Amino acid sequence: MASDSGADDSDEFFDAEDTNQYVVGIHRDLVKSWNDIAKKKYGRTKLPAQTVDRSQIGVWSMLKQCIGKELYRMTMPVVFNEPLSMLQRFAECVQYAYLLDKADESIDPIVRMQCVAAFAASTFSSNLDRIAKPFNPLLGETYEFVHHDLPFRYTSEQVSHHPPITAFICEPKDGGNQWKYYGSILPDARFSMTSMQIDPKGSLVLELNRHKETYTWSSVTCTVHNIVVGKLWFEYHGTMEIINHSNKIKAIIHFKPYSSSTKELHKLEGYIIGADDRKLRGLYGYWTDALFSIDIEQFEAFLKQQQKNGTSAVITPQEQLAKSTAAIDINNVEEEEVPVVDPTHELLNLPADSITLWRTTPRLDYAAQYYNFSLFTMALNEWTEKDKRLRPRLPPTDCRFRPDIRRLEEGNIDQAAQEKNRLEEKQRATRRAMENSQEKWEPRWFSLVKHKVTGNEIWLSNDKYWQRNWNNCPDIY
C-alpha cells in the first residue's frame, strides 16, 4: 500500500504480507467515521415551507434574455431560487471534512492523498438534483458555520462583486492547527440555446501542517441540459488534478460525461500517481454516491472487464450503488460491527480488497419537497431564538439575516421578490456613491496575496474574523 514515491523519511512503510490487514484497517477506520457523520442531526429536519411551484412560469420568456450573459449579470425571478445564498451553497462542500482529519492522522502519504481525493469528490455530492439557483451574494456578505458536534469552523466573504468572487476558509475549531482548507471561487456561467455551462474558476488549497504538505486543485465544468424543452438535468465533466506540492504525488480524477451506450451518469475514474509517474492506486465511483480505492493491477483488470461487458447490464452500477446506500440502516450500525468488506464492492463487482474512501449520507425520502436539501443543508440558514441567546453574535452581514432568503424560505414569494429588488437597488446605490467619492471597496476578513507555495494570487484569511469585532461591518441589508 505505501510507496516511496515522493514520501519523506519520516513515513512508515509496510511489508507486502502486512498489506491486507493494513487495507482492512484503513477501510474500517473510514467507515466508522462515515457512520458517525451519517447519524448526525444538524438542527431542523424540514424548512418552514415546501418548494415553490414553478410549473406555471414561462421559462423560455425569461431565459432568452440571458443568452450570452454571464451568471452574475442575469436577473432571475425569485421563484427560480432556492432559499440559500451562494455562500451557504459553498459551505455544503465541507460536510465531509472528517476526511481531512483522516488525512492529517495518516502516516502514509498514499493514504493521505486518497483521503484528500475523497474529500474533493465529496464536495459535489450535495448538488444532486439541485436545479434551483442560490441567491447571488451581495458585496461584503458573509457566512459562518459552526456546529457544536462538528470539529471544524467555516467562514466566507463575498470579496468582489464584478466579477463575483467568494473567499472561504475551513479549519479545525478551538485553535486546532492540523489542517487548513481555503480558496476562492468565481462561478463563470453562460447560456446557450439549449444548455448552461458553468466553469468555476479559482484555486482550492489544503495544508496539512503536521506533514508540511500543500495540496491544490480546481473544480470541473458543470453543464445543465434541457433548459428550454424537456426535463432539466446536469452533469459534471472534465479532469480534476490534485497535486501534493511537497512530494509531487498526484490524484487524477476524470469526471466522465454521460454515456448513451452504458446509460451511466456521474461516474468517476482516476488514479493516484507517484512522483515517478507510476500509477499507485485506482480510483472509482460516482460523485453522487461514493469513491473507492483499488489495487492498481486489479483496477486495470476491472476497467477492461467493464469495457467488455459494455451495454449488457440491465441495471447500471450507479443504480446498484444508490440502492445499497438507501438500504443502510445507519441507526443500527455499531462500531464493532463494521464489516471487513463493504457489501457494495460485490454489488459493483469491485475487487474484494477495495477501500471505501467515502460515501454520501442517505438522502431524505422527502428531499424533493424541500429543494432536494440534505439534513446538513436544512440547517445552514437556521437561526433560532435559542441560537440568539446561547451562541456568539453573528456579524450583521451574515446570510442568515438576508430578508429575501428568509421570506422565500417561509414560502412568501411576493415579499421575497420585493426584498430581493430592494437589496439589489441598495447595492447599486452604494456602488454609485463609492464611485463618486473614488472610494475603493476593501474586504473585511480576506486579503489578496501571492501564495507562498504556488506563487499564484489567492484570497487568504487575515485571521481577524473569529475575534468577533463587528464594529466596521457594512450595512448591506
Nearest to 318 by CA among 341, 347, 353: 347
In this predicted structure, what is the pLDDT of residue 452?
94
Dig out the grid coordinates for 199 from the structure. 466553469
Torsion sign (Cα): 75, 81, 86, 90:
negative
Please return the burial class of 432, using the count of CB atoms within 10 Å of its CB with bins 0-12, 13-18 and 19+.
exposed
Residues 6+ apart with CB under 8 A from 271: 251, 252, 279, 280, 281, 282, 283, 296
Residue 439 lies in a domain: no
Domain count, the chain: 1
Tell me phi and psi for residue 221, to 5 degrees: -75, 140
Q: What DSSP string describes 287-328? A: TTTEEEEEEHHHHHHHHHHHHHHGGG-SS-HHHHHHHHHHT-
Task: Report the DSSP beta bridge partners of residue 85.
Answer: 135
Spatial contact of 156 and 90, defined as CB atoms under 8 Å apart: yes
- Hey, what long-range contacts does 332-339 have (CB within 8 A, 24 or more apart)? 333/35, 335/32, 335/35, 338/28, 338/31, 338/32, 338/35, 339/31
The answer to whether the beta carbons of residues 16 and 29 sit under 8 Å apart is no
Question: What pLDDT does residue 241 have?
Answer: 98
For residue 163, cis peptide bond before it (omega within 30 degrees of 0): yes
What is the per-residue pLDDT for 335? Answer: 42
Please report the pLDDT score of residue 52 as a whole number. Answer: 82
CATH of the domain at 110: 2.40.160.120
- Phi, psi of 303, rounded to the nearest 5 degrees: -65, -40
Question: Dihedral sign, CA of 116, 153, 443, 164?
Answer: positive
CA distance 399 to 92: 14
Q: What is the pLDDT of residues 189-229, one digit of tens each?
A: 777 777 888 888 888 999 999 999 999 999 999 998 887 77
Q: 3-class DSSP state for residue 342?
A: coil
- The answer to whether position 85 is within a domain reads yes
Q: Which three cell numbers stand for residue 310?
A: 459494455
Q: What is the pLDDT of residues 160-195, one digit of tens each?
A: 998 999 999 999 998 789 999 999 999 887 777 778
pLDDT of residue 70: 55
At residue 66's C-alpha, the angle toward residues 60 and 72, to 5°, is 135
pLDDT of residue 281: 97
Q: Mind listing the pLDDT tens digit of every residue in the chain (477 residues)?
A: 444 444 444 444 444 445 566 667 777 788 778 778 877 889 999 999 999 876 655 555 555 555 555 555 556 789 889 999 999 999 999 999 999 999 999 999 999 999 999 999 999 999 999 989 999 999 999 999 999 999 999 999 999 998 999 999 999 998 789 999 999 999 887 777 778 888 888 889 999 999 999 999 999 999 988 877 778 889 999 999 999 999 999 999 999 998 777 677 899 999 999 999 999 999 999 999 999 999 999 999 999 988 877 644 445 555 655 655 554 444 444 444 444 556 677 777 888 788 999 999 988 999 999 999 999 999 999 999 999 999 999 999 999 999 999 999 999 999 999 999 999 999 999 999 999 999 999 999 999 999 999 999 999 999 999 999 999 999 999
The answer to whether the beta carbons of residues 273 and 252 sit under 8 Å apart is yes
Which among 247, 241, 317, 262 is positioned nearest to 286, based on CA atoms? 317
Q: Residue 102's domain spans which residues?
A: 16-400
d(C-alpha 282, C-alpha 280), whole Å: 7
DSSP letter assigned to residue 336: G
**CB neighbours of 377 closer than 8 A, spacing ≥ 6?**
84, 92, 126
Nearest to 167 by CA among 152, 145, 182, 188: 182
pLDDT at 320: 58
pLDDT of residue 311: 44
Task: Give the pLDDT score at 139.
Answer: 97
Full-model pTM: 0.89
> Could you give the CA distance from residue 228 to residue 170 in angstroms, rounded to a whole number?
38
For residue 181, what is its C-alpha cell?
482548507
Vertex 290 angle, CA 166 and 81, to 5°: 40
Give domain status of residue 296, yes or no. Answer: yes
CA distances from 222 to 107, 120, 270 (A): 35, 15, 19
CB 130 within 8 A of CB 198: no
